[in-house]
Structure 1
Amino acid sequence: MTTTPRSPAYPSSPLPSASPPSPAPSSSALSSASPARWPLLDRIEGPADLRALPHHGLGQLAAEIRDFLVTKVCATGGHLGVNLGVVELTLALHRVFDSPRDVLLFDTGHQTYVHKLLTGRQTGFDRLRRAGGLSGYPARTESAHDWIESSHASTALSYADGLAKALGLRGETGRRVVAVIGDGALTGGLAWEGLNNLAASAHAGPVIIVLNDNGRSYAPTVGGLARHLDRLRGHGPDAGVADPAPTAGTLFEHLGLTYLGPVDGHDTRAVEAALRHARSLNGPVLVHCVTAKGKGYAPAEADEADRMHGIGILDPVTGRPPAAARGKESWTSVFAAEITALAARHPDLVAVTAAMLRPVGLHRLAEAFPGRVFDCGIAEQHALCSAAGLAMAGLHPVVCLYATFLNRAFDQLLMDVALHRLPVTLVLDRAGVTGPDGASHHGMWDTALLSAVPGIRLAAPRDPATLRELLREAVEYADGPTALRFPKATAGPGIRALGAMDGIDVLRRSPHRPLDVLLVSAGVMATPCLEAAAALERDGHGVTVVDPRWTHPVPDALPGLVARHRLAVTVEDALADGGIGSALRTACAERHITTPVRALGLPLTFITHGERPELLARAGLDAQGITRTVTQSLTPRSTP
């Protein structure tokens, strides 16, 4: 294939002088609340206002945007570091292109806070990621400038391919499609599928790919692509050494794209010049912009772990959480300690993750056993299939993902792991309702998907002690895949069982009362079930609360327990359809057990963003909701 000639790079020196550098917000600025604190930003109601701003004002505007973001995001939580890194880049995009006529797509849409500010949504940041407030990702319901509700990485290039083809077929040749993608997201397989098609499609209109290269996703970007970009930036071990023919040129040029760069992504003039050049070429172009995550905010720049990628509520001056929020044990931290301890006892244990080493708690294991932890980049499909290979060779891989990203690797779990009955353990962090990140990040689909996989066993721990127990059992299980799921939350206190029956923990049993209702709690739903049981007992009902620990397949003894009660209610923070309630109903029907089984879970809909307790209560998964369901379902006793 004939490669596109390489265009000259855009170093800062031969271009017009850059805008003044954006200073970090000062402590005094951060403590101020003057109405005139952001005078230029307050004048930007849309991209047209930005385009009317003279170049000499862009440095001040960039500084105001960074100050605004630090102030607002530290108050609400959200994605801070990545947005601080794309300020000048986003300014240039909206000055060169005419959104929404020109289509701007942001891969892994947590980098769109600046885009939201420039498209008239400043006032929404006071309720960022809260119920009824501004989404932390692009949202089509918020603005015509948001084309896709993107938050799962590596999708924008495929969207761009389809949109460009459609615009071409409709004869709208004057419109541009621009896809902004990070180097971390470019490690995903879907990104390469899109790139492969964009480079060769004869039917697509011109697409401009803006590579936001900050050298990291959560952590530094891994793999051969990372090394290639490092050489292009001039930092790699082979920097300055020409590639021997016939492989000279960039990887992107060999695919058939015109490559422009590297460009200083914090030099608005340089980025604008590169984008205008790209726009004039009327073909597939990649503009390589080098940025720094956390730019302009000292606590983020000093945070080598993830440059404050995603934060909770922080003191904006120090960058530290409030004292009351420190030291609380999370589910992730419990898992991190236990997997490290298990690895010391099990030399065959290895771990795999998809660009989530620290967020899923594997950093401690990587420090203790660096050769036994594999970060695949944003490549969940590869992670599962690679784990299958590890298991085939006699190891026990533990694959750690956010629950929502399991969706992307379902085929590999089904056909590459389960079909071969391989001992692979999935650890699904952020399961159930995650809260502020919204519909695309709730880990609510995992149970329904896993229930369709033959031979898999699924566990849901209720407290730190059962997480440790269940993880040990999973790692020692050799007859097929296993999975554990737990939420993004504080782990909370231990909940001791009164006893056990065939592997099922009995958490509460009303003494000296008829057995009216059986509450089957899955994992962390044990706490609201116990609270509901206490309320129901006060109303005169006899209640049993059990925790099956392993929720799929249905434990053999559970239908028999159901038969001893007037009503059974299952409670889980996953889809009600396809969870333990559905499976228990089927198991009872097969045994001709007539006790009604009510399944409480999340509705089959896309749940918006909000605080986790609020969203669970809305779904009836708090103590009041469980009590209400039981009360409404119990029929009056017939009198003799």
Structure 2
Amino acid sequence: MEISAGPLLSQINSPADLKKLSRDQLFQVCDELRHYIIDVVSVYGGHFAASLGVVELSVALHYIYNTPYDQLVWDVGHQAYGHKILTGRKDSFITNRKYKGLSGFPKRSESEYDTFGVGHSSTSISAALGMAMAAKYKKETERKTVAIIGDGAMTAGLAFEGLNHAGVADADLLVILNDNCMSIDPNVGALKEYLTDITTSPAYNKMRDDVWKLLGKLPVGKRFTRDMAAKLETGIKGMVSKTSNLFESLNFRYFGPIDGHNITKLVDTLADLKKIPGPKLLHIITVKGKGYALAEQDQTKWHAPGLFDKVTGEIYKKKFDLPQPPKYQDVFGHSIIELAEANDKIMGVTPAMPSGSSLKFMMEAMPDRAFDVGITEQHAVTLSAGLATQGLRVFCNIYSSFMQRAYDQVIHDVAIQKLPVIFCLDRAGLVGEDGPTHHGAYDIPYMRCIPNMVVSAPMNESELRNLMYTAQLDKNEYPFVIRYPRGEGVMPEWKTPFREIEIGKGRKLKDGEGLAILTFGHPGNFATAAIRELKAEGIDPAHYDLRFVKPIDEALLHEVFSKFDKIVTVEDGTVVGGFGSAVLEFMNANNYKADVKILGIPDRIVEHGTLKELRNECHYDSAAIADAVKEMVNQPVTEKLIS
């Protein structure tokens, strides 16, 4: 399907083209940009509502600032589609999030306009401050730096660390707070309530009007001096209510709130703020999904809806003749309720991902026992640790790549104290179109190297339920990791009875001859498919599902190395320090001799694409496993002892 940009947007291939337009034409540009995003995402997919909410801001920023010399840092990147389209990527935007196509997030290697790569939230202020400090050091006095951060991202500790430093760094930085009460799910916490108070306060509305009247009287064309800034600051403090002290207490000059969909107001405001030195915060009010009624009404659903009919709003779903397996996340979400009904010690915690992790089901059924704590992974882990000290069994559900942000807390607050927090790492392994910032590639090495830690992975939905059941038993005294992938499992009839699994105990799924395949987690299903293919060629490998990488089943490995001198390991994590490495460590420690081939995510950054495309590229899908087995059975055993 051919998608065409509107008459004005079709002429814009860079911000320089945008600047040629009159202010009155910006209304039409915004309208065309919004419809272009709707057209492309409805047909080709991608994140949706976030970028619609900042169309006017994207246009205003590139209209006023001298990008890319002036530097814009977009937080997270869900909201940067308009920015990409305006900066020379309009014609290639249909490849967004496609294999070998544009990234769904700002990416430094993709464009000089993408000043900082983002995927995880709350990094914009710190990164932008670093750029602003560099400009000051290099005496680039005319260079401006802007961080655009959502109110949900502002809940993270890193955002406040950046604000705290910026207030004393004496760098020229503008922070734009895009306030729409949404991250992916509705925002939570005291900051959300504080911003709501600002938005609805008559005192703040009066402040807004008075501030912009004052700005309108500033001398045009003159350099805005520090004396002028001090006078303005004094005037602002006299206008605002006592509740405005949060940002001002951090030495930021606060402006707003203003309507983030009023392009004229945004252009005038940004032009004025360019003249004011030092740290400034502009608070704008926007609507996530602006301009598409269904997205405005259900912003979580339309965060990334998939393909849809833009006229009717019908979201296209695959139709199947037979029952399909559920998503692993939904198995978790429903199973934790079953467990919690039988065990009143069970609690659930997630940092801002109740829908993505499916903890939303427990939050609805048991609101006093399941909590969304906002974009605060560090807090989520230590909160869970605090709950665990009181004898509670906490399921802390965090995406694998997000858990990286709380690594110190995992070690210091959980493992050292030997607290039995249960870490359910969703989106472990490759995640597909979100790409390298979201791939859960590293949790096996970074978790298995920690003492007092159990690290497990289910091969299917029944195994996930059993691992969850095992982890919450009182006899378990250790932190317990259960990692599972994004997407669907393999069992349409998944609701099996709970059964305890002996910790550190794997299982032999199939006996065989000549070669053994050892798998960890969901890729065991790829091995099963490969074995079916190999049978037709007369190759009959054994298959072992280890279940645990720590403690690893040494009895099972003794059996494997006693019977086989050719072994293939398969995992959906990095091959460096992961499951395969654990097998090699065992082989070396016990003086076994065998040829071992490790399949998994290679030691490089893997870009975005579908799961099928990426698993094929990384050579651990069923075809790659079959090829590896065939290659090994046709080679002589290496006559070398690894020691």
Alignment TM-score > 0.5, same fold: yes
Q: Which runs of 5+ in 1 are unaligned?
A: 1-31
Q: How does 1:254-265 map to 2 (within 5 A)?
A: 254-265=249-260
Question: In 1, distance between residues paired with 2:314 and 2:507?
Answer: 40
1:568 match: 567
- Which residue identity is paired with 1:90? S
1:380 match: 377
Question: What's the secondary structure of 1:523's corresponding residue?
Answer: coil
Give, in angstroms, the shift of residue 176 of structure 1: 0.3
Question: What's the secondary structure of 1:250's corresponding residue?
Answer: helix
Contact 2:38 2:48 in 1 (8 A): yes
Residue 282 (1) aligns with residue 281 (2):
no
- CA offsets, 1:137-174, max 9 Å, x none? 01122211111111111111111111111111111010
If the length of structure 2 is used for normalisation, what is the TM-score? 0.88
Aligned pair count reads 597
Contact 2:206 2:239 in 1 (8 A): no
Residue 311 (1) aligns with residue 305 (2):
yes
2:173 match: 207
Q: Which runs of 5+ in 2 are unaligned?
A: 208-236, 638-643
- Which residue identity is paired with 1:231? D
If the length of structure 1 is used for normalisation, what is the TM-score? 0.89
- Which residue identity is paired with 2:247? F
1:352 match: 349
Question: What's the secondary structure of 1:109's corresponding residue?
Answer: coil
Give, in angstroms, the shift of residue 312 of structure 1: 1.9
Contact 2:205 2:257 in 1 (8 A): no
Question: In 2, distance between residues paired with 1:332 and 1:400?
Answer: 10
Question: In 2, distance between residues paired with 1:432 and 1:285?
Answer: 40
1:363 match: 360
1:619 match: 618
1:127 match: 95
Contact 1:263 1:274 in 2 (8 A): no
Question: What's the secondary structure of 1:492's corresponding residue?
Answer: coil
2:297 match: 302
Give, in angstroms, the shift of residue 268 of structure 1: 0.6
1:592 match: 591
Give, in angstroms, the shift of residue 238 of structure 1: 12
Contact 1:231 1:238 in 2 (8 A): no
Contact 2:198 2:244 in 1 (8 A): no
Q: How does 1:102-181 map to 2 (within 5 A)?
A: 102-181=70-149
2:8 match: 40
Contact 1:552 1:580 in 2 (8 A): no
CA separation of 1:591/1:254 partners in 2, compared to 1, >3 Å: closer, same or farther?
Answer: same
Q: How does 1:35-114 map to 2 (within 5 A)?
A: 35=4, 38-114=6-82
Contact 1:432 1:487 in 2 (8 A): yes
2:508 match: 506
1:491 match: 489
2:408 match: 411
Q: Please, which of 548, 555, 559 is the counterpart of residue 553 of structure 2? A: 555
1:330 match: 327
1:534 match: 532
2:229 match: none
- Which residue identity is paired with 1:289? I
Q: Which moved more, 1:182-191 or 1:532-541?
A: 532-541
Q: Which moved more, 1:470-479 or 1:356-365?
A: 470-479
Question: In 1, distance between residues paired with 2:556 and 2:81?
Answer: 49
- Which residue identity is paired with 1:349? I
Question: What's the secondary structure of 1:630's corresponding residue?
Answer: helix
Contact 2:349 2:397 in 1 (8 A): yes
Question: In 2, distance between residues paired with 1:597 and 1:435?
Answer: 28
Question: In 1, distance between residues paired with 2:264 and 2:537?
Answer: 71
- CA offsets, 1:556-578, max 9 Å, x none? 22222322112121100101111
Question: In 1, distance between residues paired with 2:633 and 2:588?
Answer: 19
Give, in angstroms, the shift of residue 350 of structure 1: 0.6
Q: How does 1:241-260 map to 2 (within 5 A)?
A: 247-260=242-255
Q: Which moved more, 1:623-632 or 1:480-489?
A: 623-632
Question: In 1, distance between residues paired with 2:101 and 2:333?
Answer: 33
1:5 match: none
Question: What's the secondary structure of 2:436's corresponding residue?
Answer: coil
Contact 1:72 1:126 in 2 (8 A): yes
Q: Please, which of 182, 186, 195 is the counterpart of residue 220 of structure 1? A: 186
CA separation of 1:431/1:235 partners in 2, compared to 1, >3 Å: closer, same or farther?
Answer: farther
- Which residue identity is paired with 2:391? G
Question: In 1, distance between residues paired with 2:294 and 2:528?
Answer: 42
CA separation of 1:427/1:80 partners in 2, compared to 1, >3 Å: closer, same or farther?
Answer: same
Q: How does 1:400-479 map to 2 (within 5 A)?
A: 400-476=397-473, 478-479=476-477
- Which residue identity is paired with 1:560? H
Q: Which moved more, 1:365-374 or 1:531-540?
A: 531-540
Question: In 2, distance between residues paired with 1:379 and 1:79?
Answer: 22
Residue 267 (1) aligns with residue 262 (2):
yes
Give, in angstroms, the shift of residue 331 of structure 1: 1.3
CA separation of 1:410/1:602 partners in 2, compared to 1, >3 Å: closer, same or farther?
Answer: same
- CA offsets, 1:418-455, max 9 Å, x none? 00110101111111000111111111111111111112
Q: After the TM superposition, list the runs of 4 or more consecutive aligned residues in structure 1 that deviate by more than 4 angstroms.
A: 32-35, 235-248, 325-328, 494-497, 635-638
Residue 194 (1) aligns with residue 162 (2):
yes
Give, in angstroms, the shift of residue 389 of structure 1: 0.5
CA separation of 1:97/1:533 partners in 2, compared to 1, >3 Å: closer, same or farther?
Answer: same
CA separation of 1:323/1:595 partners in 2, compared to 1, >3 Å: closer, same or farther?
Answer: same
After superposition, the CA RMSD in angstroms is: 2.6
1:292 match: 287
Contact 1:463 1:494 in 2 (8 A): no
Q: Please, which of 318, 323, 343 is the counterpart of residue 340 of structure 2? A: 343
CA separation of 1:462/1:238 partners in 2, compared to 1, >3 Å: closer, same or farther?
Answer: farther
Question: In 1, distance between residues paired with 2:118 and 2:143?
Answer: 21
1:15 match: none
Question: In 2, distance between residues paired with 1:125 and 1:357?
Answer: 30
CA separation of 1:236/1:533 partners in 2, compared to 1, >3 Å: closer, same or farther?
Answer: farther
- Which residue identity is paired with 1:218? I
Give, in angstroms, the shift of residue 597 of structure 1: 2.6
Q: Which moved more, 1:533-542 or 1:591-600?
A: 533-542
Question: In 1, distance between residues paired with 2:2 and 2:437?
Answer: 34
Question: In 2, distance between residues paired with 1:369 and 1:384?
Answer: 20
Give, in angstroms, the shift of residue 235 of structure 1: 6.8
1:20 match: none
CA separation of 1:487/1:294 partners in 2, compared to 1, >3 Å: closer, same or farther?
Answer: same
Question: What's the secondary structure of 2:244's corresponding residue?
Answer: coil
- CA offsets, 1:448-488, max 9 Å, x none? 11111112112211211111111111122531111111111
Give, in angstroms, the shift of residue 342 of structure 1: 1.1
Question: In 1, distance between residues paired with 2:239 and 2:281?
Answer: 23
Give, in angstroms, the shift of residue 316 of structure 1: 2.3
CA separation of 1:586/1:113 partners in 2, compared to 1, >3 Å: closer, same or farther?
Answer: same
Question: In 1, distance between residues paired with 2:202 and 2:599?
Answer: 54
- CA offsets, 1:586-617, max 9 Å, x none? 11222222233322111111111111111111
Question: What's the secondary structure of 1:359's corresponding residue?
Answer: helix
Contact 1:177 1:207 in 2 (8 A): yes
Question: In 2, distance between residues paired with 1:402 and 1:323?
Answer: 24
Q: Which moved more, 1:551-560 or 1:454-463?
A: 551-560
Question: In 1, distance between residues paired with 2:580 and 2:302?
Answer: 40
Question: What's the secondary structure of 1:133's corresponding residue?
Answer: coil
CA separation of 1:259/1:317 partners in 2, compared to 1, >3 Å: closer, same or farther?
Answer: same
CA separation of 1:281/1:325 partners in 2, compared to 1, >3 Å: closer, same or farther?
Answer: farther
- CA offsets, 1:492-541, max 9 Å, x none? 237999xx99832332234xxxx211111211112220122233333333
